[in-house]
């Protein structure tokens, strides 16, 4: 469960006020270079700075993949081994000294470079094992050569990622992957980067995110505060969705947001407040617009009789309930004398323990 409040603020009628969204993370971020990330909260930030080729219509049921940086849905071969993607034209990265004072348009070379970075040992990508499972042809071999030689050959041709022209990139996989489209739809991890930026900042790239997304990093105080501001180079984008006809809640959201220019706010301020009590009190004090997961200790007070407390509702607060999906992994030490091994009885033992 989460709660949101919308306090009124004094306004100067001669100057339109900035729309600021304030939010608190319960866990500190690690940085903002997509392939190096694995934690949720850093990815929340990068998903708003960078953009992937695809994203989701979250109001559709079921949620469906939609183009973001891509011009349309990919052309997919019958055997699900070749994905051809055409890019939107006129999309630019946010301004950065790495571009020498010039506007920098997104191209297919940026897409190819972004995906190759996952396999470069220097990147130390937290997603390497997942990307190896995708089976993009030739990249595992490039990774092995880079480990041996100490240098990743970014400019060497590779079968798995081919730049067909300035705005067209093609992925070739070693085996059929009908779900590969979902790999291309995670802006927090698969957000497209510019080579000049990575090469300029080197090991400090975690501190210098430069993407094509709606926001850019304005201030970062580690484990304390993150400030994002609207990206003036953000491409013209308007809210669109296709909620199910019978989904009244989604229809109401769509009616409210349909056709509005994105992003909806000018600035985002994220505070890191790890302890639940001060995080909740900051929300009650109108220092945050949203709190994720009401602290258990306060749940009886906030939702008595399973409804938002009237005193909070009078303050303009709203309660939102959403299902949370979790995936749990179990790792086994295959050399352990008790649980390891590959004999039928050892396999049966691990299965029994997993379902116990």
pLDDT tens column, 80-120: 999 999 999 999 999 999 999 999 999 999 999 999 999 99
Give the pLDDT mean for 134-151. 98
CATH code of the domain in which 154 resides: 3.90.76.10
Instruction: Check residue 7 and give its pLDDT.
Output: 44
User: For residues 351 and 354, what is the distance between their CA atoms, to the nearest angstrom?
Assistant: 5
d(CA 51, CA 69): 7
Examine residue 4 and state whether it is found in any structural domain, yes or no.
no
- Report yes or no on 245 lying in a domain: no
pLDDT at 322 (0 to 100): 84
Token representation of residue 188? 């927090």
Residue 244 included in any domain: no
Q: What pLDDT shows up at residue 317?
A: 95
Least confident of 9-23, 78-92, 179-193: 9-23
Q: Is the pLDDT of residue 172 over 80?
A: yes
Which pLDDT band, with edges at 50, 70 and 90, does 12 fall under? low
pLDDT over threshold 90, residue 10:
no
Query: CA of 99: how far to CAs of 182, 190, 230, in Å?
Result: 31, 21, 19
Q: Are 218 and 268 in contact (CB under 8 A)?
A: no
In this predicted structure, the answer to whether residue 348 has a pLDDT above a threshold of 50 is: yes
Q: Is residue 97 part of a domain?
A: yes
Residue finishing a domain among 151, 178, 213:
213
**pLDDT at position 6 over 90:** no
Asked if pLDDT for residue 169 goes beyond 90, the answer is yes
Whether 71 shows a pLDDT value over 70: the answer reads yes
pLDDT in tens, 247-289: 999 999 999 999 999 999 999 999 999 999 999 999 999 999 9
Q: What pLDDT does residue 3 have? A: 58
Q: Are residues 339 and 198 in the same domain?
A: no
185 and 53 in one domain?
yes
Number of compact structural domains in the chain: 2
**Percent helix, percent strand, percent coil in the chain, to nearest 5:** 30, 20, 50
Q: Is residue 5 part of a domain?
A: no
Query: DSSP characters for 180-243?
Result: HHHHTT-HHHH----HHHHHHHGGGGGG----SSSEEEEEEETTTEEEEEE-TTPPP-B-----
Q: Is 320 helix (H, G, I), strand (E, B) or coil?
A: strand
- Partners of 22 in the β-ladder: 269
What's the rounded mean pLDDT across residues 193-221? 98
* Nearest C-alpha neighbor of 289 from the set 251, 318, 253: 318
Q: Which of 150, 181, 213 is the last residue in one of the domains? A: 213
What is residue 327's predicted lDDT score, i.e. its pLDDT?
A: 78
Q: Is the pLDDT of residue 326 over 90?
A: no
Question: What pLDDT is recorded for position 4?
Answer: 62
Displacement of CA 214 from its chain's centroid (Å) = 13
- Percent of the chain past pLDDT 90, that is, above it, reads 90
pLDDT mean over 154-172: 98
Q: What is the pLDDT of residue 356?
A: 80
348 in the same domain as 208? no
Instruction: Say whether both 64 and 208 belong to one domain.
Output: yes
Domain that holds residue 340: 331-356
Residue 279 lies in a domain: no
- CA 48 centroid distance within chain: 7
Residue 2 has a pLDDT of: 58
Q: Are 55 and 193 contained in the same domain?
A: yes
Asked if the model's pLDDT at residue 196 lies above 70, the reply is yes
Q: Is residue 218 part of a domain?
A: no
CB environment 74-108: b (16+ within 10 A), e (fewer): bebeeeebbbebbbbeebbbbbbebbeeeebebbb
Element spanning 348, H or E:
helix 344-355
pLDDT value, residue 9: 44
335 and 205 both lie in a single domain: no
CA–CA gap between residue 34 and residue 45 (Å, rounded) = 10
Structure tokens at 107: 């191209």
The pLDDT value recorded for residue 323 is: 81
Among 213, 237, 262, the domain-final residue is 213
Residues 19 and 348: their CA atoms lie apart, in Å, by 58
The verdict on residue 222 lying in a domain is no
CB atoms within 10 A of CB 115: 23
- Where residue 331 falls among pLDDT bands split at 50, 70, 90? confident
| Listed range (54-58, 126-130, 319-323) with the worst mean pLDDT | 319-323
| pTM above threshold 0.85 | yes
Mean pLDDT of the chain: 94
């Amino acid at each position: 469960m989460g709660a949101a409040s919308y306090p009124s603020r004094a306004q100067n009628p001669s100057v339109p006020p900035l729309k600021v969204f304030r939010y608190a993370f319960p866990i500190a971020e690690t940085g903002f270079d997509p392939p190096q990330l694995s934690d949720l909260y850093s990815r929340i930030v990068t998903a708003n700075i960078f953009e992937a080729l695809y994203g989701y219509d979250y109001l559709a049921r079921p949620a469906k993949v939609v183009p973001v940086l891509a011009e349309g849905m990919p052309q997919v071969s019958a055997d699900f081994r070749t994905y051809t993607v055409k890019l939107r034209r006129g999309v630019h990265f946010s301004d950065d000294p790495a571009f020498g004072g010039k506007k920098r348009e997104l191209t297919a070379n940026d897409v190819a470079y972004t995906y190759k970075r996952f396999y470069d040992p220097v990147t130390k990508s937290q997603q390497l094992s997942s990307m190896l499972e995708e089976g993009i042809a030739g990249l595992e071999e490039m990774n092995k050569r880079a480990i041996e030689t100490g240098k990743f050959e970014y400019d060497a041709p590779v079968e798995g990622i081919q730049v067909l022209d300035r705005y067209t990139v093609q992925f070739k996989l070693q085996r059929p992957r009908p779900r590969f489209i979902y790999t291309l739809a995670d802006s927090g991890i698969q957000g497209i980067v510019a080579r000049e930026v990575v090469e300029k900042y080197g090991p400090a790239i975690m501190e210098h995110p430069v993407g094509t997304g709606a926001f850019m990093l304005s201030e970062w105080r580690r484990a304390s505060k993150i400030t994002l501001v609207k990206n003036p180079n953000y491409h013209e984008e308007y809210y669109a969705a296709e909620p199910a006809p019978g989904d009244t809640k989604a229809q109401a959201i769509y009616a409210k947001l349909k056709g509005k220019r994105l992003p909806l706010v000018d600035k985002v301020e994220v505070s890191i407040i790890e302890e639940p009590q001060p995080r909740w009190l900051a929300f009650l004090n109108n220092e945050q617009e949203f709190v994720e997961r009401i602290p258990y200790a306060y749940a009886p007070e906030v939702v008595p009789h399973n409804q938002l407390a009237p005193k909070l509702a009078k303050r303009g607060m709203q309660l939102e309930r959403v299902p949370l999906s979790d995936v749990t992994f179990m790792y086994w030490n295959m050399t352990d004398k008790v649980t390891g091994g590959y004999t039928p009885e050892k396999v049966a033992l691990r299965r029994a323990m997993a379902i116990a």
